[in-house]
Structure 1
Amino acid sequence: MKLMRYGAKGNEKPAIVDAGGKVRDLSSVLQDFTAESLSPGALAKLAAIDTGKLPVVDNPGRIAPPYAGIGKFICVGLNYADHAAESNLPVPPEPVLFMKATSAVIGCNDPVVLPQDSLKTDWEVELGVVIGTKARYVSEENALEYVAGYCVINDISEREYQIERAGQWDKGKGCDTFGPIGPWLVTRDEVPDPQNLDMWLDVNGKRFQNGSTRTMVYKVAHLVSYISRFMTLYPGDVISTGTPPGVGMGQKPAPVYLKAGDVMRLGVAGLGEQQQTVHAWNPELIDN
Structure 2
Amino acid sequence: MQLLRAGARGQERPALRDGTGALRDLSSIVDDISGPFLSPECIERIRAVDPSALPEVPPGTRIGACVGSVGKFICIGLNYADHARETGKEPPDEPVVFMKATSAICGPDDDIEIPRGSEKTDWEVELAVVIGTRAKYVSREQALDHVAGYCVANDVSERAFQSERGGQWTKGKSHDTFGPIGPWLVTRDEIPDPQNLDLWLEVDGVRRQTGNTRTMIFDVAFLISYLSRFMTLEPGDVISTGTPPGVGLGLKPPAFLRPGQTITLGIEKLGTQAQRTVSA
1:128 corresponds to which residue?
Answer: 128
1:117-155 CA-to-partner distances (Å, cap 9, x unmatched) read: 001000000000000000000000010000000000000
1:280 partner letter = S
Alignment of 1:263 onto 2:262: yes
3-state SS of 1:207 partner? strand
Post-superposition shift, 1:31?
2.8
Q: 2:277 is paired with a residue of what secondary structure?
A: strand
- Name the structure 2 match of 1:273: 272
Q: TM-score, normalised by structure 1?
A: 0.96
1:260 is displaced (CA, Å) by: 0.2
Kindly provide the amino acid, as one letter, of the partner of residue 2 in structure 2. Answer: K
1:84 partner letter: A
Hey, what does 2:238 align to over in structure 1?
238
Could you say what secondary structure the match of 1:45 adopts?
helix
Conservation of the 8 A alpha-carbon contact between 1:6 and 1:60? no
Deviation at 1:28, TM superposition (A): 2.1
State the 1:6 CA deviation.
0.6
Match of 2:209 in 1: 209
Q: Once the 2 structures are TM-superposed, how far is the Cα of residue 58 of structure 1 from its aligned partner?
A: 4.3
1:141-183: CA deviation from partner (whole Å, max 9, x where unpaired): 0100000000000000000011111110111011111000000
Structure 2 partner of 1:159: 159
- The within-5 A match list for 1:103-142 is 103-142=103-142
Large movers: runs of 4+ above 3 Å: none
Mapped partners of 1:75, 1:9: distance in 2: 24
Structure 1 gap segments, 5+ residues each: 282-288
Could you tell me how far 1:22 is from its partner in structure 2?
1.5
CA RMSD of aligned residues (A): 0.8
Identity over the aligned pairs, expressed in percent?
59
Partners of 2:76 and 2:33 in 1: CA distance: 25
* CA deviation map 1:216-252 (0-9, x unaligned): 0000000000000000000010000000000000001
Q: What CA distance in whole angstroms lies between the structure 2 residues aligned with 1:8 and 1:58?
A: 12
Distance in 2, Cα, partners of 1:58 & 1:266: 25
SS, match of residue 55 in structure 2: coil
Structure 1 stretch 14-23 or stretch 148-157: which is displaced more? 14-23
Q: How many pairs are equivalent?
A: 280
Aligned counterparts of 2:27 and 2:235: Cα–Cα separation in 1 = 21
In structure 1, the partner of 2:188 is 188
- Structure 2: where are the runs of 5+ without partners? none
Whole-Å Cα distance in 2 between the matches of residues 53 and 92 of structure 1? 50
Q: What residue identity is the alignment partner of 2:137?
A: Y
Mean Cα displacement is larger for which, 161-170 or 147-156? 161-170
Distance 2:8 2:58 in 1: 16
Q: TM-score, length-normalised on structure 2?
A: 0.98
Residue by residue over 1:9-30, the C-alpha shift from the partner in whole angstroms, topping out at 9 and shown as x without a partner, is 1221111011222111112222
